[in-house]
Homo-oligomer: A and B are copies of this chain.
Amino acid sequence: MYTPPLQDQKFIIEYLLGIDAINALQNTDNIDKELIWSILEEAGKFASSVLAPLNHSADKQSSSISKDGLVTTPDGFKEAYKAMCDSGWTTLDAKTKWGGQQMPMSISAAVSEMWHSANMSFALCHLLSQGQIYALEKSASEEQKRKYLPNLVSGKWTGTMNLTEPHAGTDLSKIRTKAVPDGDIYRISGQKIYITYGEHDMAENIIHLVLARTPDAPEGIKGISLFIVPKILINADGGLEKQNDVRCISLEKKLGIKGSPTAVLQYGDNAGAIGYLVGEENKGIEIMFGMMNHARFSVGLQGLSIAERAYQQAVNYSQTRVQGTPLACENGATINHHPDVLRLLSVMRAEIDAMRALIFIGGDAMDRAENAPSEKANYNQNRASLLIPIIKGWITELSVAHCSDGVQIHGGMGFIEETGAAQYFRDSRILPIYEGTTAIQANDLMFRKTIRDEGSGIGALLDEIESEISQVADSHRTAMLQAASDVRLTLERLLSRANEPRFLASNAVSWLMQLGYLCGGWMAVKSADKATLNSATLAQDFVKTKQICADIYLQHSLPQVAAYAAIINNEENAILNMDVSWLNRQTA
């Protein structure tokens, strides 16, 4: 069972972002509240009635591969994908020019949240297509756009990203896949791994975007080019021609997201797969980096989604399970009345609500960066690029902890796969890893977004937080001002060590987490404040919940800001004194 969190989503859109403000950013038709609400409501119905019921069975069944490399997705996926396309859901955020509805990120994020909560394995397919659409819109030739975008937007074809090779994961400079020029085209050969939906049965064609190296390319990251490699070649009329020289040689057996096929793709076993260069040679990494913000934002969003689903599962279970008589309750009261179950659920709720607000604020910042008047574009671009590693890193780390708490609330039943809680725990574990591990996000935040501009971006964020929280209820203001001040002190310390990169790198994840907890507090008290200000038009229980969630966040989550300050604000980081050889155990 999945309940679309529409009340919370609408609240953020209406009172934290503002419909007028969203509209002011639009470069297309006016979108009014009625339209937005109806999109969210319809998406909620599709998520809860079509996608959610397939989630657990897909996990049990997994995607599978036949001897001849054909991949079968779990029962129901094919039909659900067709229904998704027929309803136009794949077109939501694409440009109207290519058949899209050009909705702002803040709206499409709300819809995507529901897809991933309902069925993360399923929703991954379109997530990859979205990334490819974004990359092609920015970097492909007009001819390429006309050839691929309409069918990618409609969902008739799906897209993949082919970056990783066995020896080249985080470090793409080690890519060895070859691209040899052959007239207008290139012949691609090599092996790519971890290709999500690299092969499947839900669409008539799959368009691979492949990073590869031309024969005379410079070594390293500056010698990598990007190619379009369709699974089935396309003729001049746009029709499907013949199979390209690419095949799926195996699927990974994974800890989670088992419904989604994760393929090993072999290119060029025969004449070489036909590939078409995107942009210029040796600019592949730049193009990939250009879409990275969107991809990382999407994974942070998945963190919110899986935590929300685990939360709902735990709430539902706690409302029906009777075990022991909770303090001050009648015999037969359900376990949600046990103080510690209530603690686990309430802290999850407070953190998830803060995560959601931060995601929507982040999506809005990305919208503004692209569409705001030029004098503010730079400011908004900086803000978006600052929030993205926090959204990706902090939210996905929390999501794993939440899914773990979701299991805990179920007691012994949580460890039995049939219950479903264990699946979220398994599914969530990929999120702090793919699209750049938490450490990669943290290094980005530390070096590119804290040290490089000498703290001015972070300083501006802190100014804004402090200015906003000066308005909120006394009980919330004091703790938040203290936390913001702790972060300022940490920032100063880090800036004073700007020429000690190992010290900075050793504290990078702590810095990311500290900022994440601060931003979460900002969102929690801002939400409580806006709910209070608009209590005349909001449900009273909802207003109280937002106020109490802020109380809970400040008491249970915000203390981590000071804990991370205690870790970072030292002359040295003790871990740097650990010799790697000492980590080995000795038998004598």
Contacts and interface: CB of A to CB of B under 8 A. Distances in A.
A418 interface: yes
B584 A3 contact: yes
A343 B575 contact: yes
A169 B501 CA distance: 52
A305 B429 CA distance: 21
Interface in A370-418: 400, 404, 407-408, 411-418
A336 B583 contact: yes
A324 to B, nearest CB: 4
Nearest to A3: B585
A418 B254 CA distance: 8
Contacts of A347: 575
B3 A254 contact: no
A408 B171 contact: no
A346 B432 contact: no
A561 to B, nearest CB: 9
A503 to B, nearest CB: 8
Number of copies of chain A assembled together: 2
Contact of A253 (B6, B8, B327, B418): B418
Interface stretch (A77-85, A100-108, A542-550): A542-550
Interface in A234-279: 252-256
A69 interface: no
Given A8-B585, A340-B506, A552 B580 contact: no
A230 interface: no
A211 to B, nearest CB: 16
A525 interface: no
Nearest to A556: B567
B439 A415 contact: no
A339 B585 contact: no
Contacts of A442: 340
Interface in A312-350: 312, 315, 318-319, 322-324, 327-328, 336-343, 345-347, 349
Contact of A502 (B327, B341, B567): B327
30 contacts: A4-B587, A41-B587, A169-B411, A194-B412, A254-B416, A254-B417, A255-B425, A315-B583, A318-B580, A338-B439, A339-B505, A339-B575, A340-B442, A342-B576, A343-B573, A347-B575, A407-B433, A408-B432, A414-B433, A422-B429, A541-B582, A545-B578, A548-B577, A548-B578, A554-B574, A555-B566, A555-B567, A555-B574, A556-B575, A559-B567
Residue among A337, A349, A502, A575 with the highest chain B CB neighbour number at 10 A: A575
A255 B404 CA distance: 12
A476 to B, nearest CB: 11
B342 A506 contact: yes
A35 interface: no
Contacts of A541: 579, 581-582
A430 interface: yes
A586 interface: yes
A582 B544 contact: yes
Contacts of A417: 253-255
Interface string A443-456: 10000000000000
A438 interface: yes
Nearest to A436: B411
A164 interface: yes
Interface string A527-562: 000000000000101101100100110111001101
A448 to B, nearest CB: 15
Given A426-B255, A570-B555, A583 B340 contact: no
Contacts of A505: 327, 338-340
Given A5-B585, A562-B562, A323 B574 contact: no
B422 A437 contact: no
Contacts of A508: 339-340
A429 B425 contact: yes
B551 A171 contact: no
A575 B343 CA distance: 6
Given A337-B580, A544-B582, 8 more contacts: A4-B587, A169-B323, A255-B425, A328-B501, A342-B506, A347-B575, A551-B577, A562-B563
A44 interface: yes
A8 to B, nearest CB: 7
A341 B555 CA distance: 31
Contacts of A579: 541, 544
A252 B416 contact: yes
Nearest to A545: B582
Closest 8 CB pairs of A and B: A340-B439, A551-B574, A339-B505, A559-B566, A339-B506, A7-B586, A171-B324, A255-B422
B323 A170 contact: yes
Nearest to A8: B585
